[in-house]
Amino acid sequence: MTIGDQPTTAELLRENVLGVIRTIYDPEIPVNIHEIGLIYGLDVDASGAVAIRMTLTSPACPVATTLPPEVEQRVRDVPGVTSCKVEVVWDPPWNPNMMTEAAKLQLGFL
């Protein structure tokens, strides 16, 4: 929520966290995990606690054991973040329609 026209601390922190997430790439896909559509939910509270719901392109993804911990560590390093929890979910299953238009264009889906 905003107070007047000023973003709240949680909103500013959320934008900073999103900025970091946009720098994380699945090593097999040259597009960041946000644009690919792997981030299903991002909650930031006023205390700086961050909760992320994410998925992978498949349960057999080669980075299934390394990508979620990387996301968690990189987000923990954002100034103002007091904690971070990453939950990997499989419902709904990821599919190419979850990518942004820019990602689809970059990967030749359009």
Give the model's pLDDT for residue 83.
97
| Count of helices and strands (H, E) across the chain | 4, 5
Residues of the chain with pLDDT under 70: 1-7
Please check whether residue 97 lies inside any domain of the structure: no
Count structural domains, the chain.
Answer: 1
At 68-94, the pLDDT tens digits run 999 999 999 999 999 999 999 999 999
Please check whether residue 57 lies inside any domain of the structure: yes
Please check whether residue 6 lies inside any domain of the structure: yes
Give the model's pLDDT for residue 1.
47
> CATH number of the domain that 46 lies in?
3.30.300.130
Give the model's pLDDT for residue 27.
85
Please check whether residue 18 lies inside any domain of the structure: yes
Please check whether residue 10 lies inside any domain of the structure: yes
